[in-house]
Structure 1
Amino acid sequence: MLGNSPGPFRVGVLALANDQVIERDLARLLPPEVLTFTTRIAFGGDCTMEQLAKMAPQLAEAAQLLNPEVALDAVIFGCTSGTIAIGPETIRDAIQSVRPGALAVNPVEAASGALRHLGSRRINLVTPYEPEIAARMAAQFEAAGFAINRRYDFGITASEDISRVQPEAILEAAARLGGEGAEATFISCTDFQSLDVLERIETKTGIPAVSSNQAMAWDILASLGVANGVPGYGRLLSGIPS
């Protein structure tokens, strides 16, 4: 006998073809009542603004492929630098052109909302990117009303190398920036293995640490009214507002 589809909440994920981290992180951060469905967007090679912008024409079709017979509560675009290259408004328009009832979530706006929720306006920024993308990322946050206190960039160009950066290296980079003069650390990129070291970064720096995937999980949980906290992954998720 047929019944209702499983799960009260359904979230689609548009992940880059070579992202090895986002699905694992979201599976750990979202509770069982939030089901996720993932499709992939073609991407590879060098991580440059030009290459990232080429994903824009794929977004609507990819969003349409996300379990097309099921209504989704939200759709995540899983690329922080891609959000900078394409633009949050363009991403939102593409997703909602085929998923008009779904909340469109991206890492940049989710992180901005998370930082405001924490009361953090002056931030340290850790990125895996080469200088042009890192500078554009910093400029985006400055345009949104944040001040960049200090910044550390790993300078990676080959996109497949981002997920190979070890968590301890990310911890060391954030700790090197410290906490003096800053109110939070933002660690950019959905393919960065930062989730497991967020609380250690907070301990070493004395300020909250926010990552791309953690911020999107927070945005989803807060927007859907799933109010239970997610311990072990930083102050942001220690309590979710209903």
Structure 2
Amino acid sequence: MEITKINPDYQKSEYFDGKKLGLIALSTDHIIEDNLRDMLNDFDVSILTNRIIFDGQVTEDSLAAMAQDLERATHNLLPDKAVDVIAYGCSSGTAAIGEDRLREEIQKVKPSAKVTNPITAAAAAFKALDVTKLSLLTPYIPDVNRKVGETFAAKGLEILNIAGFGVLEDADITRIDPAAIVKEAKACLHPAAEAMFLSCTAMRSIEVIEVLEKELSIPVVSSNQAIAWHAIRLMGYTNISDKWGRLFQL
């Protein structure tokens, strides 16, 4: 058997020509990668995912506990390499940990990365859409809904009402059928709402955004849609799309 060593002066090139989005996804999340790849397919963006430890119980204590694993999860997104934007993929987890702490912990490891999450991204989306009065539909239990509502209210948004499916197990959130999301979104819409937020990266919301916007006649924003939109804006893209709702058509 002949074994040959190739000359180390062979031609080299970079694999990543475009932007890099680092995603910190929950260990129990079934859909966020698929959602982001669908929405960012027309953009020159590579998505790199690492999973953060989560026990699967969507309670304030379990959500807040993820902060303990943020440093490891961030470090393992291309260790010692720069990433353009890092997205923390959990809406209720952002509310439990806090936006400032999330950003500080992530940038401690990746100082050059811009940081987003569903709460920060959605707030930027509502500002771009010029709306402040919201109805929220979530999969959460009441205590988690309260925390999410208070987090948005602290940012100057008026939360008119929140309806939650009361699902405790994160893995079961993805089992909520899109038809049920449409039905409950229509039922919970407040008459004064200027927009609706479908909270949770594990809920199959992007499948129904365009249907709901047509039926409700207001903008509809979801967690994963907001992350995708905000991430590409942070990267400097201004492209519009004919898919994924009014937000992507701005």
Gap runs ≥5 in structure 2: 1-10
Matched, 1:28 2:19: no
State the match for 1:7 in structure 2: 17
Among candidates 141, 144, 160, match of residue 149 of structure 1: 160
What SS does structure 2 have at the residue aligned with 1:195? coil
Matched, 1:102 2:113: yes
State the match for 1:41 in structure 2: 52
How many residues get paired? 239
Matched, 1:16 2:26: yes
Write the letter of the residue equivalent to 2:44. Answer: E
TM superposition shift of 1:179: 5.9
Among candidates 121, 130, 134, match of residue 132 of structure 2: 121
What SS does structure 2 have at the residue aligned with 1:12? strand
TM-score w.r.t. structure 2 length? 0.92
Matched, 1:52 2:53: no
- Distance verdict in 2 for CA 1:115–1:32, change over 3 Å: closer
What SS does structure 2 have at the residue aligned with 1:196? coil
What SS does structure 1 have at the residue aligned with 2:38? helix
- Mapped to 1, the partners of 2:68 and 2:161 lie a distance apart of 34
Larger Rg: 2
Among candidates 164, 172, 176, match of residue 183 of structure 2: 172
Write the letter of the residue equivalent to 2:57. Answer: D
- Mapped to 2, the partners of 1:99 and 1:186 lie a distance apart of 30
- Distance verdict in 2 for CA 1:120–1:32, change over 3 Å: closer
- Given that residues 160 and 190 in structure 2 are in contact (C-alpha distance below 8 angstroms), is that contact kept between their aligned partners in structure 1? no
Question: Equivalences for 1:85-234 in 2 at 5 Å?
Answer: 85-178=96-189, 180-234=191-245
- Given that residues 179 and 206 in structure 1 are in contact (C-alpha distance below 8 angstroms), is that contact kept between their aligned partners in structure 2? no
TM superposition shift of 1:32: 4.4
TM superposition shift of 1:180: 2.3
Write the letter of the residue equivalent to 1:63. Answer: T
What SS does structure 1 have at the residue aligned with 2:30? coil
TM superposition shift of 1:36: 0.8
State the match for 2:92 in structure 1: 81
- Mapped to 2, the partners of 1:44 and 1:32 lie a distance apart of 33
